[in-house]
Structure 1
Amino acid sequence: MMRTVFTLLLTILLWPVSSVQAQLQMPEPPLNISVDFARLPDSKDNAETTTGAVLAAVTIIPEKGWYTYSNQPGSLGQPTVLTASLAGSPEPLEVRYPPGVRKPDPFSPEEMVNLYLGEVTFFVSLPPDVALPADLRLHLSLLLCSEKSCMPVSLERTASLRQAEALPAAEKQPWWPEYGASSPGPQPDQVEPRHAAGPETTTGPETTKYAPEEEWSLNPRYYQSELEVGSIWKAIMLALLAGFLLNFMPCVLPVVSLKISSLVSGCVRGAQCSERARRQAFTEHNLLFAAGILAYFLVLSLVLSLFGLAWGELFQSPKLIMILSAAVFALALSLFDVYTLPIINLRSGMIDSGNPRASAFSTGVLATLLATPCSGPFLGGVLAWALVQPSMVVAIVFISIGVGMALPYLLMSAWPGLVRFFPKPGAWTVKLERIVGFFLLATCIYLINILPQDYLLSALVLLWITGVSFWIWGAWTDLNQSTRKRWTIRSAALSLVVAAAAWAVQPPEISVHWRDFSAEDFRGRLGQERLLVDFTADWCVSCKFLEQTTLTDKNLADWGKRYGLTYIRVDLTEQNPQGMSLLRELGSQSIPVVAVFPQGSDANRPLVLRDLFTSANMEEALDQLF
């Protein structure tokens, strides 16, 4: 066993170094580009060395389900910009863009934008009398989006024109009608950057909001320039030190319970075996715990380099955070005797049950995963240099960070005699289990705290169902039952957790934009827009029920499109004299109240709905008013 563990560690450490020349290719965007040349109708035959009136048609073909924003997208989205020039000439050529399709933005339906849906062609006019052959250099910048995510794309292509006389006629090409509808776009330096409208939340690659790349001209200076990295050897040395210091960072304290439990677990077994066996168990546990740390850092390096993510950016995914919080909560329950989990068992008195080797390795992976959001001393310069290097260099640096973090456990495995400094088990270990459990519950609070607000209710429901399910696991099963019955109950309990997780990680509906009420803003809009004003408060249970049943995001989005409504929310959670004044003017003293104000001369005759009402009631009122 010991030889196998050492072989595993040696493989993890040396594989990236031996493969440093290997290059992992970044995934290509789901987009194809083609360039065709044609002669415009008004051109005359010219010598073979000139182009005359030649047009380059640059066609982009996104894969099914993907779209992009037009060159003039509107208030949202990154403009699609094509820059073109001839090789050897700094002068940009004129580019003509089709107008795009005007429709509500898929991620912000209240905003109208211009989109390119499917295949689209741009046109570049080559100047006359250009010596042939000529190379046309193209740079395309756009925001490519699907239903779930957006990605900024920047591509370069070169197209060669060898002779002009044999070019086909432009008016016979399938894109000719698009050319007639196209118009010149602004120069690249005249394009104003806009915010992308993409989804608010990433899952790893599923749900992340992207903003357009901006060009900066900065020359930063660093206060501690000696800590900046310029070579792989300096990166390795600083990575080792940074990884070691990660064990002592305050941000790692929420997972210190896992480390304490791992050390004690290696000692508890010694109460039932000889001193030699006790040392062997201590060595084995620390080696496997260190192997878990190194394996995690190796996988992390591959994920970050492949997807271009930053350190800790995985925790921008609400899905990962919710699943991780449920896993940590389940581990905490096992330490309060709610149930016994056979794989990752942190209970010191149960080390001989289940699979202690899998438990040690898994605990090392979990502890390192929870520590990923932290960035300790020396780590900033190392990561800034490493994450722009080839994938194998990234792997070497990250393995070095892992070796540094695993160093205390590797040292303890090298000197198993240190086990005598750890106290032997007794009644105090039960109290330690409870303390570790409270540490894990604190970690759950930390994880939920970094979730977007829209996911908080889903996360709490997931934790509640997790608690019920693992209580069923522990209370409704025992060893006196048949194996089939016991695992049928456990499988049902796990199915509840899986179903709850599948429901919880679903992205929330697109939120409708509510404007906060102010008397000045309200007076400016009154009579000019159709207004729906909702009076609500956090302490109003009926208001919250109404928001969950009638004033849902889906209903509000539908009504906004159908009736052209502007939504204003009057929050009466705290003292709001202006809001209360408007409420009284509507003849009400209590909430919930919804008032709908029409445009024009009837704006001072709003339609008021009090207390609880249904979606059908709301639609009937809107139809009556409009």
Structure 2
Amino acid sequence: MPSGEAASLSLWAAIGLALVGGLILNLMPCVFPVLAIKALSFLHGDPREHHRQGLAYTAGVLVAFSALAGVLLALRGAGASVGWGFQFHSPLFVLLLAWLMFVLGLSLAGMLHLGVGLTGVGQGLASRSGLVGSFFTGVLATVVATPCTAPFMGAAMAYALAQPAVELLAVFLALGLGLALPYLALAFWPALQRRMPRPGRWMDVLKQALAFPMFGAAIWLVWVLAQQAGPQGVLLALSGMGLIALALWARGVSRSAGRSGRWAGGLTALASVAAALALLPMVQPEATPSAVASASAGASKEEPYSPERLAALRAQGKPVFVNLTASWCITCLVNERVALSTPEVKTAFQSQGITYLKGDWTRQDPRITELLARHGRSGVPLYLFYPAGPGDEAQVLPQLLTPGIVTAAVSGSAT
């Protein structure tokens, strides 16, 4: 059982925290566009169909979280040490997700039409394919939510990962239910639907505008891939996007052509997709940190985290601030931008003589996983402050930081 906050939780407390954390996940920049797009379907149609859409979406979310829990249990049974967001340690997963975000962006922008089977947006919402679309939109919402760690989630996930299968699944399903609740409430609560604007041209404009968060997510994922697989990973990701775009274009322009034109377009699309898939085995982690990661590390005064360095500093009685982060963790990146990189915090660290250690969990690092588990966490971010003097007790800071929170935590440190 992990120490710290998670060790004091009961099962029902962990379920409650997971439920609240799942609700907050809906506000994350990758998840919110998916929820907004699905909400547009409630502007027309039969209320009974809305109920079915809500249940199908919820089923997709819960099935996806159950599958994620199953994978975690299998890896744990095999002796692996894993945590929340573990799949983002794989460059291959990051690449595939970047391609998916790119295709969804093209679809939302109106550059191609995938039909309701993938996005759940279109005229067939009352048909069976609409329900299938809702189900897989729930799966998609789960996939794009996994790089995020919302407040209240950290302790709940750490508790779950230390429990037997039934308890772990219960916490994961609570997290999924929290993620699905806003859409489910909208589906069953007509009063909320009546507060939505009337249908109009704004729906198409909004749908197209929501393509840009998807493109932004694809760009960000390629940046993450650069730190995992280096320049070659970026080249493979962009090459794959070009081939996917070619396949979609060829398929689209050949629809109105004659029989030979349709065959040519289909073969071109098939060959392009096959060429993109052939790139996947070439995606390999770099043996050493990439130039992007090195440049990022050299841009500030932090030192790379290692247990040996932390132990040496603590043996000397020096104050230490530890930031465990990852490039695919949106919460981590926001905290570094709005709090840890501010002049106020940098000045406080310098004046207090605080050593800043940064542990990068973008790629799997068992040393960071061990420190997370020691403090009752299953994933990043984790912020620890060790005051000056003897002892190894650390103050755990909140998952959402402000400059004031950091400076207040370190203000009692002696130089």
TM-score band by shorter chain is 0.5 to 0.7
Change (3 A) 1:286 1:301: same
Change (3 A) 1:352 1:399: closer
2:62 aligned with 1:294: yes
d(CA) in 1 for partners of 2:162 and 2:288? 39
Answer yes or no: is the 8 Å Cα contact 1:339–1:473 preserved in 2: no
Residues 497-517 of structure 1: CA deviation (Å, up to 9, x unaligned)? 243133144244977999x9x
d(CA) in 1 for partners of 2:59 and 2:69? 15
Answer yes or no: is the 8 Å Cα contact 2:58–2:135 preserved in 1: yes
Q: Report the counterpart of residue 31 of structure 2 in structure 1.
A: 255
Q: Report the counterpart of residue 320 of structure 1 in structure 2.
A: 93
Cα offset, 1:397, TM superposition: 1.1
Answer yes or no: is the 8 Å Cα contact 1:330–1:470 preserved in 2: no
Greater displacement, 345-354 / 322-331? 345-354
Change (3 A) 1:338 1:413: closer
Q: Report the counterpart of residue 469 of structure 1 in structure 2.
A: 247
Aligned partner of 1:356 among 122, 126, 130:
130
What stretches of structure 1 move > 4 A for 4+ residues in a row? 219-222, 346-354, 484-488, 508-514
Q: Which amino acid aligns with 2:32?
A: V
d(CA) in 1 for partners of 2:198 and 2:207? 15
- What secondary structure sits across from 1:423 in the alignment? coil
Q: Which amino acid aligns with 2:242?
A: W
Change (3 A) 1:510 1:299: closer
Change (3 A) 1:423 1:381: same
Aligned partner of 1:460 among 238, 251, 276:
238
d(CA) in 1 for partners of 2:242 and 2:220? 17
Change (3 A) 1:339 1:220: closer
Q: Report the counterpart of residue 20 of structure 2 in structure 1.
A: 241
Cα offset, 1:416, TM superposition: 3.5
d(CA) in 1 for partners of 2:288 and 2:83? 31
Residues 508-535 of structure 1: CA deviation (Å, up to 9, x unaligned)? 4977999x9xxxxxxxxxxxxxxxxxxx
Q: Which amino acid aligns with 2:147?
A: P
d(CA) in 2 for partners of 1:324 and 1:280? 33
Cα offset, 1:419, TM superposition: 2.1
Answer yes or no: is the 8 Å Cα contact 1:261–1:348 preserved in 2: no
d(CA) in 1 for partners of 2:2 and 2:176? 29
Answer yes or no: is the 8 Å Cα contact 1:283–1:416 preserved in 2: no
Alignment of 1:470-485 (within 5 A): 470-478=248-256
Alignment of 1:459-538 (within 5 A): 459-478=237-256, 486=262, 489-490=265-266, 492-508=268-284
Change (3 A) 1:433 1:228: same
Alignment of 1:83-98 (within 5 A): none
Change (3 A) 1:414 1:238: same
- What secondary structure sits across from 2:30 in the alignment? helix
- Identical aligned pairs, as a percentage? 32
Residues 111-160 of structure 1: CA deviation (Å, up to 9, x unaligned)? xxxxxxxxxxxxxxxxxxxxxxxxxxxxxxxxxxxxxxxxxxxxxxxxxx
2:119 aligned with 1:382: no
Residues 246-266 of structure 1: CA deviation (Å, up to 9, x unaligned)? 223xxx212311110000023
Cα offset, 1:335, TM superposition: 2.2
Answer yes or no: is the 8 Å Cα contact 2:18–2:174 preserved in 1: yes
Change (3 A) 1:420 1:481: farther
d(CA) in 1 for partners of 2:233 and 2:94? 10
Change (3 A) 1:354 1:397: closer
Cα offset, 1:492, TM superposition: 4.4
d(CA) in 2 for partners of 1:386 and 1:376? 16
d(CA) in 2 for partners of 1:220 and 1:290? 31
Answer yes or no: is the 8 Å Cα contact 1:321–1:447 preserved in 2: yes
Answer yes or no: is the 8 Å Cα contact 2:24–2:179 preserved in 1: yes
Residues 372-420 of structure 1: CA deviation (Å, up to 9, x unaligned)? 0111112111111211222222111101111121121222233244322
Answer yes or no: is the 8 Å Cα contact 1:289–1:360 preserved in 2: yes
d(CA) in 2 for partners of 1:512 and 1:321? 18
d(CA) in 1 for partners of 2:175 and 2:285? 40
Q: How many equivalent residue pairs?
A: 281
- What secondary structure sits across from 1:375 in the alignment? coil
d(CA) in 1 for partners of 2:125 and 2:201? 15
Q: Which amino acid aligns with 2:15?
A: I
- What secondary structure sits across from 2:209 in the alignment? helix
Answer yes or no: is the 8 Å Cα contact 2:125–2:131 preserved in 1: no
- What secondary structure sits across from 1:377 in the alignment? coil
- What secondary structure sits across from 2:172 in the alignment? helix
Change (3 A) 1:485 1:476: closer
Change (3 A) 1:220 1:312: closer
2:144 aligned with 1:370: yes
Q: Which amino acid aligns with 1:467?
A: A
CA RMSD of aligned residues (A): 3.1
Q: Report the counterpart of residue 435 of structure 1 in structure 2.
A: 209
Change (3 A) 1:511 1:393: closer
Cα offset, 1:350, TM superposition: 6.5
Q: Report the counterpart of residue 49 of structure 2 in structure 1.
A: 281
Q: Report the counterpart of residue 15 of structure 1 in structure 2.
A: none
Cα offset, 1:441, TM superposition: 0.6
Residues 409-462 of structure 1: CA deviation (Å, up to 9, x unaligned)? 222233244322222322112211210111211111121121122411110111
User: If each structure's helix is expressed as a fraction of its own residues, which one has the higher value?
Assistant: 2
- What secondary structure sits across from 1:337 in the alignment? coil
d(CA) in 1 for partners of 2:145 and 2:288? 36
Residues 184-235 of structure 1: CA deviation (Å, up to 9, x unaligned)? xxxxxxxxxxxxxxxxxxxxxxxxxxxxxxxxxxx9974xx4x654432222
- What secondary structure sits across from 1:234 in the alignment? helix
Answer yes or no: is the 8 Å Cα contact 1:349–1:429 preserved in 2: no
User: If each structure's strand is expressed as a fraction of its own residues, which one has the higher value?
Assistant: 1
Change (3 A) 1:371 1:494: farther
